[in-house]
Structure 1
Amino acid sequence: MPTGGPRGSDRAAETKSSSAGTCQQTSPRSGIDLSPAPLQFFPVTARDAAADLAARLSRAGHTAYFAGGCVRDRLLGREPKDYDIATSATPRQILELFPGSNEVGAHFGVIIVRHHGFHTEIATFRTDGSYGDGRRPDSVEFSTPEEDARRRDFTINGLFEDPPSGEIIDYVGGRSDLQAKTLRAIGEAADRFEEDALRLLRAIRFATTLDFDIEPTTWQAIVLHAEGLRRISPERIRDEFSRLIVAPKRARGLELLVDSGLAKVFFPEVLDLIGCDQPPEWHPEGDVYIHTRIMLDLLPDDAPLELCLSVLLHDIAKPPTRTFDEGADRIRFNGHDALGARMAHDILRRLKYPNQVIEDVEFMVSRHMQFMNVQQMRTAKLKRFMAAPTFPLELELHRVDCASSNGFTDNLEFLIEKGEEFASEPLVPPPLVNGRDLIDLGLKPGPRFKELLEAAQTEQLEGRLTTREAALDWLREAAR
């Protein structure tokens, strides 16, 4: 495991030693330079900024450690996105050192400090009182580093790091769990989930994003307390679920949500996919749930949120539309694309997703069955189809849809070839004629305007009209 000190301290020492006439300031405990350095001469990272804040707390006589996720990620060889500091300094003392900081969490001992363009959360070591709302403690008491570590959710998030030395301080066994790739609640798992029910979903998210196994006692507590997630707001659930569904192991994450009972709480529609059988000649892989899981697995690791949600929801309406055609001796799902789009809209609205995400996913779900007809489309219709902003994502949805079922790739290859063929110009170029031209021809605005202009654009897309003069001539004839 890496244990090197923060780059910011190294840079500070280097800068000071190379600046003529500048005195160094050292810590009596570590003997290394902790003076503020002219970091503007170097690329400043989040770690640099946080290390400088921790050094200033230390010089003022306070203990200051990196805490939680940033320590975990560094030990896993990942670049932390941000840094949190846990300290013996009280909120008042933190504000005295860093005036003008954000006091929004001061009641819980948390101050947000902006330094070198980064926002670092600095929290006083604390123990939490009871959690009356299943979300946040009713009260806090300032305490010691060990007590602070024991109030946290999982052992891998209960680690501290001394910034100047890189020493790991582990009161909860988090380092051994990191090495074993195990997610374990600190103390009594049931107590941790009763305190904040969002930890139920966080456990699944960490197991998914880190590809860790959940320790049996912790897993049993998740299953037993799954209904507690109903106390959590849709927005908090959405944020955790979004981070899970874009993770490379998203299919395993979905399975954990289903098996734990958490999916039943906030996404019950997915349970209906289990056991919803499909025509074996088209879907030899199995039921709709298996098909969806395989698709999620086939997506690239960096698939965007809208694509992941579209894959998850593309067949969500198959259970309510399933019928059996006795004459053809086969299962059918007539209209599952249209109903699925409406269901996707309702599910994502319920989880408070942004409007643009909802619109994009709804649109992609509504069109996913149209890919089977692309080779029969006229050029104009095909160009309009491919011109949709979401088309690149839809093409990927179609790829994994086929790869997870019948394996047919003819429509995919056709669209890729057409994309290359049409690449020399915009799929839908600016129209050669417009409504003003119709008015000049003596027509009054009305429903026929749209029909004529759309017909003219179709002729343009088909390549039969290539100049404005030809388009005006065509319009004169069509408008008679």
Structure 2
Amino acid sequence: MQHLLEHATEIAKTIQSAGHTCYFTGGCVRDALLGKSPKDYDIASSATPQQLLKLFPKADSIGAHFGVILVKYKGEGYEVATFRKDGDYGDHRRPDSVCFSSPEEDAARRDFTINGLFQDPHTGEVIDYVDGLADLKAGLIRAIGDPVERFNEDALRLIRAIRFATQLGFQIEESTWNAIGSHADLLEQIAVERIQQEFSKIITSPNRATGLRLLVDSGLIRWIVPEVLELIGCEQPPQFHPEGDVYTHTSIMLDMLEDDASLELCLAVLLHDIGKPSTYTYHPEEDRIRFSGHDRVGADMAAEILGRLKYPNKVIEASCAMVLNHMNFMNVRFMKVAKLKKFMARPTYEQEMELHRVDCASSNGITENYDYLRQKEEEFSSEPLIPDPLISGKELIQRGLQPGPQFRDILNALQVEQLEGRVVTPEQADAWLELYLKR
């Protein structure tokens, strides 16, 4: 990412050479001070949008009414904003008006102290009007000024506070935390797409279990995935789940996932037992809790939840497939070879294996099915799980058969023979087809 710093520095140099104050600001300053490589660089300046457009005639002025222009430099876009003071926030998201001001007032309008720092691109000096350096050192997320005002201005900051605490491993300062809890319902004012983006960053963070706990404890989860609250106190059979209720089980699983787990897998783990509360039954004759069909119910619920959050269809389909299939792992040692190969050939299989691994590790610790599948992967590794068909529909037509449901039955039956290893050559396929058609 060194080129991003070099490009941003060149842009800042152009602005400073024209006599304007110019600083790096926000996340790039925070991340650099934490020893992380910034993913982008935001620039703040005393230059107005009109002055900036004279310096960068090819810049995009789409955000000029908020004092922001997008400067293109060697194929990359860099936001350059004029120091500003915001007016009222009528929609709890964006200011109704802005007026250009000083660096001090610009810092005061920002969300959290660790994001309110400036840095001189030339000297490297950090300019701190909000005591952000102290909070960065202490590992604290603290709203700038009055937290209630900050959250009333932009309600997305409620979930952003949780996201920063999760990603950075920071604590949330007490008055900021209290304001989040007392104003959680403001999140209802925010577009679901923006909430989804922040939630995705939380659930894919290595500290995702902490993020979930913060969302639950703050009350924000009620405006994101309220169904999670039903997992709290939902008892499970202790012989299979000594760790406790469904919420505890889910949290441990999230914590056990690899740091780089995909969004689809993280969502599937979060929702894999979401159907348990509605399928809970206690059987006194067995002294046993059961959740019959919770995988199917859970897959339907997951589809509704993820659709409500407006996730892309491919994310919904993959996550729901994992939820639907997570109970099938108990049957893999009893599957015929053909069915097992089909099970293992599905696109979500490898991620389902990870879900199954943490599902077992967070509860009873039984790994027989996981170990069996890994053994089968080695056994089947010398050839494709699903081989190319030895006879096609076109060949069936050439043999005088009429297209219809019979085609599907023939081809499916032949595939089973191939997967089972009973038919492996075109000659064997021809002989099999002859006998099949006679029957």
Q: TM-score range by the shorter chain?
A: over 0.9
Q: Is 1:255 aligned with 2:219?
A: no
Q: Is 1:411 aligned with 2:369?
A: yes
Q: Is 1:392 aligned with 2:361?
A: no
Of the candidates 69, 78, 93, which is equivalent to residue 36 of structure 2? 78
Q: Is 1:304 aligned with 2:262?
A: yes
Cα shift readout 1:413-433 (whole Å, capped 9, x = no counterpart): 111111111112111121111
| Equivalences for residues 61-72 of structure 1 within 5 A | 61-72=19-30
2:200 paired residue number = 242
SS in 2 for 1:103: coil
After TM superposition, which residue ranges in structure 1, 4 or more long, deviate above 4 angstroms? none
Of the candidates 426, 429, 433, which is equivalent to residue 468 of structure 1? 426
Q: 90-99 or 431-440: which moved more?
A: 431-440
2:308 paired residue number = 350
Q: Is 1:166 aligned with 2:124?
A: yes
1:126 paired residue number = 84
Matched residues, number:
438
Of the candidates 148, 156, 159, which is equivalent to residue 201 of structure 1? 159
CA RMSD after TM alignment:
0.9
1:479 paired residue number = 437
Q: Distance in 2 between matches of 1:100 and 1:426?
A: 53
| Equivalences for residues 439-478 of structure 1 within 5 A | 439-478=397-436
Of the candidates 47, 68, 71, which is equivalent to residue 5 of structure 2? 47
Q: Is 1:382 aligned with 2:337?
A: no
State the shift of 1:389 in Å. 1.0
1:433 paired residue number = 391
Of the candidates 169, 176, 179, which is equivalent to residue 137 of structure 2? 179
Contact 1:276 1:319 in 2 (8 A): yes
Q: Distance in 1 between matches of 2:174 and 2:286?
A: 48
Of the candidates 259, 263, 281, which is equivalent to residue 323 of structure 1? 281
Q: 414-423 or 71-80: which moved more?
A: 414-423
1:216 paired residue number = 174
Q: Distance in 1 between matches of 2:289 and 2:274?
A: 16
1:148 paired residue number = 106
**TM-score using structure 1 length:** 0.90
Q: Is 1:295 aligned with 2:295?
A: no
Contact 1:441 1:476 in 2 (8 A): no
Cα shift readout 1:256-304 (whole Å, capped 9, x = no counterpart): 0001010011211000000000000000000000000000000011111
Q: Is 1:189 aligned with 2:156?
A: no
Q: In the alignment, residue 265 of structure 1 is paired with which amino acid?
A: W
Of the candidates 56, 61, 64, which is equivalent to residue 98 of structure 1? 56
Q: Distance in 1 between matches of 2:7 and 2:75?
A: 8
Contact 2:58 2:72 in 1 (8 A): no
Contact 1:205 1:244 in 2 (8 A): yes
Q: Distance in 2 between matches of 1:468 and 1:311?
A: 43
Cα shift readout 1:343-364 (whole Å, capped 9, x = no counterpart): 1011000001011000000111
State the shift of 1:444 in Å. 1.3
SS in 1 for 2:282: strand
Q: Distance in 1 between matches of 2:24 and 2:384?
A: 52
Q: In the alignment, residue 309 of structure 2 is paired with which amino acid?
A: L
Cα shift readout 1:229-256 (whole Å, capped 9, x = no counterpart): 0000110000000001000110010000
Q: Distance in 2 between matches of 1:191 and 1:476?
A: 79
Of the candidates 211, 220, 231, which is equivalent to residue 189 of structure 2? 231
1:367 paired residue number = 325
State the shift of 1:473 in Å. 1.5
Contact 1:322 1:333 in 2 (8 A): yes
1:271 paired residue number = 229
Q: Distance in 2 between matches of 1:94 and 1:423?
A: 60
SS in 2 for 1:406: coil
State the shift of 1:435 in Å. 1.0
Q: In the alignment, residue 164 of structure 2 is paired with which amino acid?
A: F
SS in 1 for 2:423: coil
Of the candidates 43, 66, 70, which is equivalent to residue 108 of structure 1? 66
Q: Distance in 2 between matches of 1:475 and 1:154?
A: 71
State the shift of 1:150 in Å. 0.5
Q: In the alignment, residue 112 of structure 1 is paired with which amino acid?
A: L
Q: Distance in 2 between matches of 1:277 and 1:217?
A: 34
SS in 2 for 1:361: helix
Contact 1:44 1:116 in 2 (8 A): no
State the shift of 1:44 in Å. 6.1
Q: 266-275 or 470-479: which moved more?
A: 470-479
Contact 2:135 2:141 in 1 (8 A): yes
Cα shift readout 1:165-213 (whole Å, capped 9, x = no counterpart): 1110000000110000000000000000000000000000000000000
State the shift of 1:442 in Å. 2.3
State the shift of 1:437 in Å. 2.3
1:8 paired residue number = none
1:424 paired residue number = 382
Q: Distance in 1 between matches of 2:118 and 2:77?
A: 19
Structure 1 gap segments, 5+ residues each: 1-42
Q: Distance in 2 between matches of 1:449 and 1:324?
A: 46
Q: Distance in 2 between matches of 1:265 and 1:185?
A: 21
SS in 2 for 1:324: strand
SS in 2 for 1:247: coil
**TM-score using structure 2 length:** 0.99
Q: Distance in 2 between matches of 1:102 and 1:325?
A: 66
Contact 1:431 1:457 in 2 (8 A): yes
Q: Distance in 1 between matches of 2:60 and 2:437?
A: 66
State the shift of 1:477 in Å. 1.3
